[in-house]
Amino acid sequence: MHDQESPENLPDEPAATSAEEGAYAVLKNADYARYLFGRFIASLGQQMLVVAIDWELYKRTHSALALAFVGLSLMIPMILCTIPAGHVADVFNRKKIVLVTTLLLVVVSLALTLLSYFAAKVFWIYICLFVLGAARTFLWPASAAFVTSLVPRNQFARAVTFNSGAFQLSCVLGPVAFGAVIAMTPHAEEHATAWTVYALNVLASIICFALVAPIKHVHKAKPAEPVSAKSLVEGFRFVYQNKVILGVITLDMFAVFLGGAVTILPMFAENIYHVSASGFGWLRNAMPMGAVICMFIIAHRPPLQKAGKAMLWSVAIFGIATIFFGVANKNCFDSLLPLSNAFWFWFAFGMLALAGFVDNISVVVRQTLVQILTPDEKRGRVSAVNALFIGTSNELGGFRSGIVAWLFTTPTFLGGKEATGAIVSTVTGGIGTILVVLAVAWIWPEIRKYGKLA
């Protein structure tokens, strides 16, 4: 375990700042504020796009398997590109990487716009998702490491909090914006097309590019290590040797893999709660709304004093909330509690919001520790490993939830129905998440003992 006060592990500190500065002092940094707003706009467009893809595919196929393949299409390029992406982020100018990958997202979004407008075969949507996954794999480590050059050391935890909050706010607004755009698009519901949403994402990525381009603080690349197997896998080696980083990444990875139910939310909306696209949007909003509330609370409080225990408890509560969400419906409790469908819908919404609230705590702890415990010359590769673990767990988790839901939906398998498949997938995932917390707390006691997050 690396000493958390070790100077070589700390982000570069452009200028000293007072410990008494307010919660929003980091936003006075013009370059960071420009970066934060640019990434927020881009993330808002991406959230609209992701919701649109899930909605369009399910409308066109009515298949849980089609939703599962969304996660798989995004996961494969992450696995293939993570090692080179981390090396590139440490060798080349990180700002330029962010700009180039942002332009690639413009191209992908434009392609999706045309494919959706002309109702091309679903196969081509998956191809676009593959390219999108590759672009994001190169973007994430460069972007995460780039932030450390924009803020001083004592503001970094708050910068991570605002980064996470901006992302979660985009997750709140994305489904709402998606619903509004679809409502204003003629014949969108009839033809199951979301081309206007994809077109707006083109604009969002262009705005992000324009905001990030003028930023003055850029990564000063150190002399490049010779490209070798050792240099390429350095990120994995460093993560493996640092037990705290390894433990928190593993915890978050398996929690997201097992506990995520976002991919199959269309099934809950249509087959369990019987709500329209607006109701589906509320369900998609629940977790990010909880995370945004958490962000404001964390921003106004001192740094976490027992960060390790806070992360373990937050992930455990995430699993419990996931279980309650899975069973909060008339299918499970109608004989015991004959309550209205509306009641169960809003109870489920509350459980998702709680899950989002505690998940944001674990995100802030993990992202802060990964950056402050990693030397700058390795941040790109370590950030790439972090993005691989968490990114693939998101997509593979979506694939898992879709496959389990599909298995228990297939009429030939135990006489299952759509509702049964969605409930079984969610509840088993929540139980698995709780078991992972217990395992991680036992295997890596360093996490339980980790103190102040600063």
pLDDT digits (tens, 9 = 90+) for 7-63: 333 344 444 433 445 667 888 888 999 999 999 999 999 989 988 998 888 888 878
Confidence (pLDDT) at 44: 93
Q: Give the Å distances, CA to CA, from 211 to 13, 162, 201, 446.
A: 23, 17, 15, 40
pLDDT per position as a tens digit, 55-97? 888 888 878 778 778 878 888 888 888 888 887 888 888 899 9
Domain boundaries, the chain: 25-219+228-449
Q: Which residues contact 227 (CB under 8 A, 6 or more apart)?
A: 87
CATH no. of 25-219+228-449 = 1.20.1250.20
Q: Are 305 and 452 in contact (CB under 8 A)?
A: yes
Q: Out of 37-46, 128-137, 304-313, pick the least confident.
A: 304-313
pLDDT at site 189 = 67
Answer yes or no: are the C-beta atoms of 406 and 68 closer than 8 Å.
Answer: yes
Statement: residue 288 has pLDDT above 50: yes
* Residue 101 or residue 255, greater confidence: 101
Residues 359-400: tens digit of each pLDDT: 888 888 887 787 777 777 777 777 777 777 777 677 678 778
**Three-class SS string for the chain?**
CCCCCCHHHCCCCCCCCCCCCCCCHHHHCHHHHHHHHHHHHHHHHHHHHHHHHHHHHHHHHCCHHHHHHHHHHHHHHHHHHHHHHHHHHHHCCHHHHHHHHHHHHHHHHHHHHHHHHCCCCHHHHHHHHHHHHHHHHHHHHHHHHHHCCCCCHHHHHHHHHHHHHHHHHHHHHHHHHHHHHHHHCCCHHHHCCCHHHHHHHHHHHHHHHHHHCCCCCCCCCCCCCCCCHHHHCHHHHHHHHCHHHHHHHHHHHHHHHHHCCCCCHHHHHHHHCCCCHHHHHHHHHHHHHHHHHHHHHHHCCCCCCCHHHHHHHHHHHHHHHHHHHHHCCHHHHCCCCCCCHHHHHHHHHHHHHHHHHHHHHHHHHHHHHHHHCCCHHHHHHHHHHHHHHHHHHHHHHHHHHHHHHHHCCCCCCCCCCHHHHHHHHHHHHHHHHHHHHHHHHHHCHHHHHCCCCC
Higher pLDDT, 223 or 350: 350
Query: Residue 18: phi, psi to the nearest 5?
Result: -75, 140
Alpha-carbon torsion, ordered 423, 74, 363, 167, to 10 deg: -100
Identify the pLDDT of residue 227: 47
Contacts of 260 (CB under 8 A, 6+ apart): 394, 397, 398, 401, 429
* CA atoms within 13 Å, Cβ hemisphere of 418: 16
pLDDT for the residue 2: 39
- Cβ proximity of 206 and 213 under 8 Å: no
Mean local confidence (pLDDT), 161-173: 82
N- to C-terminal Cα separation, the chain: 16
pTM for the whole structure = 0.69
Q: What is the pLDDT of residue 20?
A: 42
